[in-house]
Structures are given as structure tokens and as C-alpha cells.
Structure 1
Amino acid sequence: MIINKEIKIAKFIRRPNRFQGFVELNGEEIMVHVPNTGRCREILTPGTEVILRKEDNPQRKTSFDLIAGYKGDKLINIDSQIPNKVVEEALKEGRIYALSKYKHVNREKTFGNSRFDFKLSISDIEIPEQEYYLEVKGVTYETDGLTKFPDAPTERGTKHLLELIEVKKSGRGAGVIFLIQMDNVEAFTPHDSMDKVFGDALRKAYNNGVDVFAYSCRVEHNLIRLDREVKVIL
């Protein structure tokens, strides 16, 4: 997807809390919104080059969102609102091969007491065997080509995985896709040292028939697009 808003390059200074950051833009220190509740500590380091997106909402306290940053020469998108948009675009274009038979793509649909990112279906007739529920997780943590999720403990993420098992038991399809918000990576694995409960839940989901996908992205200053499937190590 192309980001159709003004883009600026700045220098990161500090992040006093989850949602606020300070950057140097055109020689001036300004406050920006950080649209990611994860830690992103290996990306948001003092002096690193970051990408800002202009937001024209007069009700906001900040004029820019900090949407990406460089770790070395690797540009990593950190906007937590982006993964669902990228996956939706790819689903509608049939670029996630394993799910390309599902022609109907609906956002934020409920199964039982749970709300999932996507409900996919082959036809517009409600037939359980032709339905598929998909959850999306954005990945920003990387070390030597190996990407991991989560970068902070996530009870909500574990809950989603266990609920996907119930979807699968109902006769419907179920899956989770880890959208890696960077390119040039080798594999994905759960971040057990950060949240072993989540890792165990992911392995349990996989062993109960839930699909586990991981895709890297092509990332530029004003663009992010699903690129290629990468190896999942459980």
C-alpha cells in the first residue's frame, strides 16, 4: 500500500512513554505520536533516522506519526495499524496463495465471543466449511535475520490463538499471519524468552490445525507491501 500523506525524515531523540516520542526535525525538537505500544527498543535508539507521516487532524496534540525507523541499513515499519491494511490488500489481490480461494474478505468479524481481524469465505452463502477466520500480528523485532513476536508480553495475543483453536474445532478454517514489517529476513519464531505462554499457545494452535503464516514486507518511506513468505520455526 502507498502512504498518500506527507513524509518527513527526522532524527529520534527519546520516547518518554508508549505513545509519545521526541524527534529532531529541521533543527527543531518536536513531539510526535508513536503508533505502537510495543517496546521497539532496538529500533528507537537516540540518533537513529526515523520516518514521520503528517496527520492533518486539528484535534491532535501532535502533527506527525512516527511510522518507521532504521536499524542499521534496515528500514522497519512500526505502525501497528498498518499490518491489517497490508494483509487486506494482499488477500484481495490473491497474493497469499494458501488463502487465494477465499474471494470474500471481511474485516473485524465475530465468532462466538471473539472478534478476529478477518473472516474469509468462498461464497456469500454462510457455509461453515467454506469460512476461514484469520488473525494478524505485526512483527518488528529482528536479530540477524530471525524475526520474533511478541516484543512485549501479550495476554491478548495468547487469547486470540486459543480462540482460533475453537474456530478450527467448529469445522471452519483458522489461521494467524505474522506480518513482518521489514524485508531481507530469513525466518520467524515465537519470542519465547519474552512470552513463553504465547509461544506455547502458538505451538498448541498449530498442533490443533491452525495455520501459521509469516510474510515479510517490502518497506520504503512511503510504501509497505506484502512481499514473500518466510520460514516459520516453532
Structure 2
Amino acid sequence: MKFPSPLIKGTLIKRYKRFLSDIELENGEVVTAHCANSGSMMGLKEPGYGVYLSQSDNPKRKLKYSWELVDTGSALVGINTSHPNKIVAEAISAGQIPELTGYDNLRPEVKYGQNSRIDILLEKSSGEKCYVEVKNVTLLREEGCAEFPDAVTSRGTKHLQELSEMVNQGHRAVMFYLVQRDDSTQFKIAGDIDPTYSDALKKAQKSGVEVICYDCKLSADEIAVHKLVQIIT
């Protein structure tokens, strides 16, 4: 996923009210940017961190800047949760996810389950379907090991239950974790943060839901799926 234009550098002053952040640009101007992330952003919201912003020319937008990346000093991390679906869809279409090749059609945001939308629906001309739910991963508390979630996610638990139901109906279902950082070789569930989600994933896997995890290469120009990440339990 390429950014429409190179991102703008700045320094984080603070993140507040979940979706707002004050950032000082390199020219000294302080701007308020949209923070498209409802999680805790544990370890990523420290004042003084370098950040990267995109700028919108849409006159109807209240905030023209969006916070895209944070530089922790050891890694670039993508914090915008509106991007993972597109990043993964592009990678699938390009044949970069071997586990998800062989499908004839890809549709985003298709209604299914109990008033939900699946992030990506893959279909074969023969009628076979694969339901792919994508989750953005940014948390890293141990060197080299990314984790999800960074906050309690009842919505995520609901999605796991609905994926299980798709398997029960005879379809394929995949839980896809996209690590938007490039400093992890392993991935695990943060069961101490959300034990209910952890239990739900175990049940989903027993029902036949598959779990896949990839990381990303990130820059001020683009974010792209990079390599498979080992899942540990």
C-alpha cells in the first residue's frame, strides 16, 4: 500500500481522547492529527517519539492530518488501523500470501454473521468461500515477539465466534494477524490483557479456524506485507 504522497515528519506531544494527537512538525508548527486506532497503543504513545503524518486535501475533513507511523527508536510501527485490510488484500491479489492463493474473486467488507462484515471474502468459481478476518498488531513487550490484543476486545471475540460459525457451515475461515512493525520474529496472544479473547481463539482453532501471521516492511512511502511470523502458544 503506497501512500499518495510522502509522509510528514513530526514529534509526538500527546495522544488523547483515543482519536486525537498533538504533534509538532519539523518547522515548529503544532497540529492536531487524527489517530485512527481505538486500542491502548501500549508502548507507542510516549511524548517525544518521532511520528509520520499523512495530509488530506479534502476540505470537508475536520482534521487534515492523520497519524500513520511512529518511530520507537528501534522500529517503525504502523498505527493506523484503517490500512491493514487494504495491505492484506493487495498482498493476496499479488500472490504474496501462499496460504490464500487459488481464489478467483476477492471482495472486501461483505456482510455475514450477526450484523457483521468480513474484512475479506475470497471465492472460487466452484462456489468455495474463504472468510478472512484481519487484525492489526502493534504491541511488543518482549524483544522480537509481537502480541495481540493491546486492550480488551469484545468485538474481536465476536469475530472469532462468527468465523467458527462459517466453518460449521462448511466454509474456510482464517484469522489473519498483520504485524505493522518489522522487529518481530514471533507472535502470541496477550492472554493476560484479554483472557476471554485468548480462550475464544483456542475454541475457534479447535472448530477449524486457521490462524496466519505476517509482518510488514514500513517506510514513509509505503507499507507492504513482508514475511510469515512464527505463532507461539
| Distance verdict in 2 for CA 1:112–1:60, change over 3 Å | closer
- Look up the equivalent residue of 1:24 and give its one-letter code: E
Q: Does structure 2 conserve the Cα–Cα contact (< 8 Å) formed by 1:92 and 1:103?
A: no
Deviation above 6 Å: which 4+ runs of structure 1? none
Q: CA deviation at 1:6?
A: 4.4
**In 2, Cα distance between equivalents of 1:109 and 1:219:** 28
Report the equivalent of 2:224. Answer: 225
Deviations 1:53-85 (A, max 9, x none): 011121222221011101122000101111000
Who is 2:100 aligned against? 99
Identity of aligned pairs, percent? 36
In 2, distance between residues paired with 1:79 and 1:103?
Answer: 29
Aligned to 1:44: 45
Which stretch shows the higher mean deviation, 110-119 or 152-161?
Answer: 110-119
2:167–2:209 CA contact under 8 A, matched in 1 = yes
| Aligned-partner residue type, residue 121 of structure 1 | E
- 5 Å matches for 1:1-234? 1-25=1-25, 26-113=27-114, 114-123=116-125, 127=127, 130-143=128-141, 144-234=143-233
Alignment partners' CA distance in 2, 1:16 and 1:90: 33
Q: Aligned partners of 2:101, 2:57: CA distance in 1, in Å?
A: 36
Residues of 1 paired with 2:79 and 2:48: CA distance?
17
Structure 2 Cα separation of the partners of residues 20 and 148 of structure 1: 24
Q: Confirm or deny: 8 A CA contact 2:42 2:139 kept in the other structure.
A: no
- Relative to structure 2, which stretch is displaced further, 148-157 or 58-67? 58-67
Cα pair 1:6 1:54 within 8 Å, conserved = no
DSSP-derived class of the 1:2 partner: coil
**1:199 offset after TM fit, Å?**
0.8
Q: Find the aligned partners of 1:60 and 1:44 in 2 and give their Cα distance.
A: 24
What letter corresponds to residue 139 of structure 2 in structure 1? Y
2:6–2:220 CA contact under 8 A, matched in 1: no
User: What are the ranges of 5 or more consecutive residues in structure 2 without an aligned counterpart?
Assistant: none
Q: What is the letter of the counterpart of residue 170 of structure 1? A: Q
Amino acid at match of 1:117: D
CA distance in 2, matches of 1:73, 1:35: 22
Q: Secondary structure at the match of 1:57?
A: coil
SS in 1 for 2:108: strand
Structure 1 gaps of 5+ residues are none
Residues matched between the structures, number: 230
Distance 2:160 2:29 in 1: 44
In structure 2, give the amino acid aligned to 1:41: M
Determine the C-alpha separation between the residues in 1 that align with 2:57 and 2:42.
28
CA distance in 2, matches of 1:183, 1:27: 29
**CA positional deviation for 1:90:** 0.8
Deviation at 1:37, TM superposition (A): 1.0
Distance 1:232 1:7 in 2: 32
What is the root-mean-square deviation in Å for CA atoms of aligned residues?
1.2
What's the CA shift for 1:230?
A: 0.6
Structure 2 contact 144–183 (Cα < 8 Å) conserved: yes
